[in-house]
Amino acid sequence: MTSEREKMLQGDLYDPDDPELVADRRHARELTDEYNGTAPTEGDRRTALLAELFGTASEGAHVEPPFRCDYGYNVHVGADFYANFDCVFLDVCRISIGENCLLGPGVHIYTATHPRDPEERAGGLEYGEPVTVGDDVWIGGRAVLNPGVSVGDDSIVGSGAVVTSDVPPNVVVRGNPATVVREHDPDE
């Protein structure tokens, strides 16, 4: 029999009130509260807490508090990842972020979504779609990545952009919805 957690991780409809998922979210809240309470001088403690919270927190990963997430274990960040203040990750599905990525303040990444049918939505079930960010990506402050999107290597997401569809590599996007405004040569 498939558990609600397994359904969630597969992107199927699941019951978020399942006791195992409630406990997982509570554990993530406890870890983020502890992380958010650390002092700037507690780098080793922050590193250890991120390693416990995230599914993968590669070398050099740094997140400025405060930070919020649903589960944490669905977040995977590459080497030299940096997230500025007030970022929120709704990680009911996998969030994969490559190496050398920078997130401005208040970036939100959502994998959680709900059924489109109002009757089904009223039943309380939800599902998710993974989000993938390539290597060497810069996401400006207050940008939002919606469920199921990917951002290609070496791209830039402008501040305040709302990414509703995939972003190709080597471009700059901005706006709501985010659209390509120019190609970007990372070697320039």
Q: What angle do CA 138, 126, 111 make, to 5 degrees?
A: 10
CA distances from 57 to 78, 96, 153 (A): 7, 11, 19
Element (H, E) at 76: strand 75-77
Select which of 27, 76, 108, 114 is catalytic: 114
Residue owning tokens 């190609």: 183
Select from 52, 60, 59 the least CA-distant residue to 31.
52
Q: Residue 174, Cβ neighbours under 10 Å: how many?
A: 18
| Token pair in block for residue 143 | 């940008």
Select from 135, 173, 133 the least CA-distant residue to 149.
133
108 flagged as catalytic: no
Task: List, by residue number, the catalytic residues.
Answer: 114
